[in-house]
Amino acid sequence: MLAPSDSTVLLHTAAGRVIAEPARYLRLHWSVQPRVFADTCAMFTTAAHALRQYGWGRILVNQVEMPPFSPQEQLWISQQWLPAAVRESGYRHGAVVVADNVLTRLATAFVTSTPELPLRYRSFSTEEEALAWLLQQPA
C-alpha cells in the first residue's frame, strides 16, 4: 500500500494517537491521560496492523508525557505484542523520545530489552533527534 500523502491519524484514544506519516514511518504519541489496558492494546495492535499493511518497519514513539506502563502492559508488550510485531509485521527500528518520569523510563527499558529480536531501539531526549535517526533507517 502507498504511503499517505499527509499525516493520517489511524487511532486516537485516551492512551494517545497512532499516526501514519508520509515519510514511511508510524508515530505513536502517548498521552498524559490515564489509560486502560484495552487502550494500550489498541494502540499497539493498530501499529502492528499498519506496519504490515504499509510494509514499513519504523516507529517513532513519543513518551514525554506518558504515565508508566503497568506490569500487565509491560508483560503483554514484551512477551506477546513485540515478538509478533517483529515476526509478522516487520517492525525493525524504534526511536523513543523518553519521558522525564523515571518510572516511565524504567518500564520502557523493561519492554525494550529484547536482545533476541532483530529490532533496534534508540532513546532520545527530543523528537527532532529521534526523527533524524529514524529516517536514516530502512523503511
CATH architecture of 8-134: 2-Layer Sandwich (3.30)
User: What cell does 91 get?
Assistant: 517492525
Grid-cell match 519492554, residue found? 111
84/47 Cα distance (integer angstroms) = 12
CA distances from 64 to 5, 52, 78, 121 (A): 27, 26, 20, 16
Low-confidence ranges of the chain (pLDDT < 50): none
Per-residue pLDDT tens digits for 31-57: 999 999 999 999 999 999 999 999 999
The whole model's pTM is what? 0.88
